[in-house]
Amino acid sequence: MRKKIVAGNWKMNMNLQEGVALAKELNEVLTADKPNCDVVICTPFIHLATVAQFLNQDVIGLGAENCADKVKGAFTGEVSAEMVKSTGAQYVILGHSERREYYKETPEILKEKVQLALANGLKVIFCIGESLEEREANKQNEVVKAELEGSVFNLSAEDFAKIIIAYEPIWAIGTGKTATAEQAEEIHAYIRSCVADKYGAKVADDTSILYGGSCKASNAPELFAKPDIDGGLIGGASLKCADFKGIIDAWKK
């Protein structure tokens, strides 16, 4: 059975003290009122080692938002998958549209990152999704399939089982515009069919596919009620404990 997951993506927000305070608050709230799904917080690198020390990892998983496409060495400013793992983190987000666009991360670079993350025992939250122009040209299926083929469909079925897919239409990220639950379900079902074509029905059925893009407590119940939507990757609404908890609680409705 695939997992239901709500993952937060803090992006470049919060200094160390603010981030630690939010993680502590979430830890207390979710330890007292256990979620009905897996919860993960993906934080800037600087928070990981500190947060890992007090997080109740039976209740909240911890992840990074990126890792390097190289093993180690003279790559000033980079943070390797091994370094991420050594902090106590278990997850990493790769392929986020902001990294693809602003940092020119190509499918080939992402393929390297995915392989290094898996080789170091990290689970990968792999983001895919189309731009507004692509959606208007009805190319969303083509785009997501190419993104899967370009960076993760080279993996063995055993490795692919460690991939969580996050479908994030770029036009819905941080814009307040959410895909309707029907639009999201349609493409999630298509993504699952691509996984089935590549790895078979069992693997496809076991793959968690999250929706991301202006997801909040008010729209999460409708999105999560769809059969192929297994949870959310949450940006803005993961920065406040009550907002994030509201989305997590959508799995209790």
Tell me the closest approach of the beta carbon of residue 168 to ligand PEP, in angstroms: 5
Q: Which tokens is 236 given? A: 């803005």
Q: Which is nearer to ligand PEP, 72 or 240 (CB)?
A: 240
Rounded CA-CA distance 62/10 in Å is 12
User: Which residue in the set 92, 212, 219, 247 belongs to the binding site for ligand PEP (CB under 6 A)?
Assistant: 212
Residue 32 buriedness (CB in 10 A; 0-12 / 13-18 / 19+): exposed
Tell me the closest approach of the beta carbon of residue 202 to ligand PEP, in angstroms: 28
Tell me the closest approach of the beta carbon of residue 40 to ligand PEP, in angstroms: 12
Rounded CA-CA distance 145/243 in Å is 32
Assign 210 to helix, strand or coil.
strand
215 contributes a contact to ligand PEP by CB under 6 A: yes
Stretch that binds ligand PEP, among 13-21, 78-86, 189-197, 211-219 (CB under 6 A): 211-219
Measured from each CB, the residue nearest to ligand PEP is: 235
Residue type, 170: I
47 is catalytic: no
168 contributes a contact to ligand PEP by CB under 6 A: yes
Q: Which tokens is 24 given? A: 């502590």
168 is catalytic: yes
Tell me the closest approach of the beta carbon of residue 242 to ligand PEP, in angstroms: 15
Q: Which is nearer to ligand PEP, 198 or 226 (CB)?
A: 226
42 contributes a contact to ligand PEP by CB under 6 A: no
234 contributes a contact to ligand PEP by CB under 6 A: yes
213 contributes a contact to ligand PEP by CB under 6 A: yes
- Cβ distance 144 to 190 under 8 Å? yes
66 contributes a contact to ligand PEP by CB under 6 A: no
Residue 90 buriedness (CB in 10 A; 0-12 / 13-18 / 19+): middle
Contacts of 167 (CB under 8 A, 6+ apart): 127, 128, 129, 144, 184, 187, 188, 191, 209, 210, 211, 212
Q: Which candidate, 208, 218, 210, places its Cα nearest to that of 249?
A: 218
Catalytic residue from among 47, 65, 96, 188: 96
Tell me the closest approach of the beta carbon of residue 213 to ligand PEP, in angstroms: 5
Q: Which is nearer to ligand PEP, 51 or 215 (CB)?
A: 215
Around 48, how many Cα atoms within 13 Å sit in the side-chain half-sphere?
24
7 contributes a contact to ligand PEP by CB under 6 A: no
Catalytic (active-site) positions: 96, 168
Point out which residues bind ligand PEP (CB under 6 A).
9, 168, 173-174, 212-215, 233-237
